[in-house]
């Protein structure tokens, strides 16, 4: 009988790595990590997840978790997994979305600095819960990861909000230039490279606090105009949904579609032009 992942993880990776077939796990487990307490703790937690998946001969998830462990160990920012990166049963998406939102809110409010071990544990166990929920064939493992997440989340301590003395109002931060996300021909899928622009837009949203974000979809002139109008709507919807998935409030995201009528390069009719296949993300006060 397989031991529950929750109990396997409790022993941490250092005890378990020696028996792993995946050599990358051993290298990442033994690496010198950052002095950032939260990221160092994340490194340990993700190594432990990789070990558990390697023992279950799940090489894809083992590799996914060990890469997150490596990035955390190097001091890079590692976020809780996005919901759209897993194929989840429909009835579980709401619960997981709420859990992720609660987790991210506590991390933003200083929990990573105040309680780094509990915060790292909660993030890793959320990812564990997502991974097990996608497989959806081991209810005891799903429950163990979910309960471990809940216990660690409870132990996360945020920084209390304090009244600040009144001071002269600074000039509002300038809004950034529009972000432009490009698409392949006849596609509304966001590539990994273009996703970095959406994440940067989200980071600027956190910094600038715009009152409205305009997400506008466009196409080149290839194909039928009515079809292109619909394609531009799908592109805008995809980018808007990615922003909201990251944490931008739905109420400030305004999506619009232009089809082929507002090109940045006038290529003529029925012409492929990559610069016109785009979605612009514009911040307004």
Place of tokens 């799940």: 58
β-pair type (278-284, 212-217)? antiparallel
Whether CATH 3.30.930.10 fits 179-284: no
Give me 95's structure tokens.
């619960």
Give the per-residue pLDDT at 5. 56
* Residue 227 region by backbone torsions, left for phi larger than 0, else alpha for psi between -120 and 50, else beta: alpha
Give the per-residue pLDDT at 170. 59
Question: What is the domain partition of the chain in residue ranges?
Answer: 5-80+94-155, 179-284
Give the per-residue pLDDT at 83. 86
Q: Any residues with CB less than 8 A from the CB of 210 and at least 6 apart, and which?
A: 175, 252, 283, 284, 285
Cβ 43 vs Cβ 9: under 8 Å:
no
Cα gap 94→130, rounded to integer Å: 12
Per-block average pLDDT, block size 10, for the chain (285 residues)?
Answer: 49 45 82 93 94 91 94 91 90 91 91 95 96 93 94 93 61 79 96 93 89 95 94 96 95 95 91 95 93
* Residue 210 region by backbone torsions, left for phi larger than 0, else alpha for psi between -120 and 50, else beta: beta
């Amino acid at each position: 009988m397989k031991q529950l992942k929750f109990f396997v993880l409790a022993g941490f990776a250092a005890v378990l790595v020696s028996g792993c077939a995946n050599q990358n796990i051993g290298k990442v487990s033994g690496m010198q990590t950052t002095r950032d307490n939260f990221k160092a703790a994340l490194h340990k937690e993700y190594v432990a997840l990789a070990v558990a998946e390697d023992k279950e001969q799940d090489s894809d998830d083992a590799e996914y978790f060990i890469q997150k462990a490596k990035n955390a160990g190097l001091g890079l920012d590692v976020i809780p997994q996005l919901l759209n990166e897993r194929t989840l049963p429909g009835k579980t998406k709401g619960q997981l979305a709420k859990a992720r939102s609660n987790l991210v809110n506590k991390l933003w409010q200083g929990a990573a600095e105040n309680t780094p071990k509990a915060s790292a544990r909660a993030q890793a166990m959320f990812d564990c819960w997502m991974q097990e929920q996608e497989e959806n064939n081991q209810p005891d493992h799903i429950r163990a990861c979910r309960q471990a997440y809940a216990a660690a989340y409870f132990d996360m301590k945020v920084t209390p909000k304090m009244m600040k003395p009144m001071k002269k109002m600074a000039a509002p931060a300038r809004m950034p230039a529009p972000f432009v996300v490009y698409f392949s021909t006849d596609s509304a899928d966001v590539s990994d490279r273009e996703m970095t622009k959406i994440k940067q837009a989200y980071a600027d949203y956190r910094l600038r606090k715009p009152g409205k974000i305009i997400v506008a979809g466009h196409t080149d002139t290839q194909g039928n105009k009515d079809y292109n109008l619909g394609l531009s709507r799908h592109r805008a919807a995809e980018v808007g949904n990615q922003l909201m998935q990251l944490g931008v409030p739905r109420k400030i995201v305004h999506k619009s579609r232009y089809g082929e009528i507002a090109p940045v390069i006038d290529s003529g009719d029925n012409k492929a032009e990559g610069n016109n296949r785009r979605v612009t993300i514009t911040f307004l006060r």
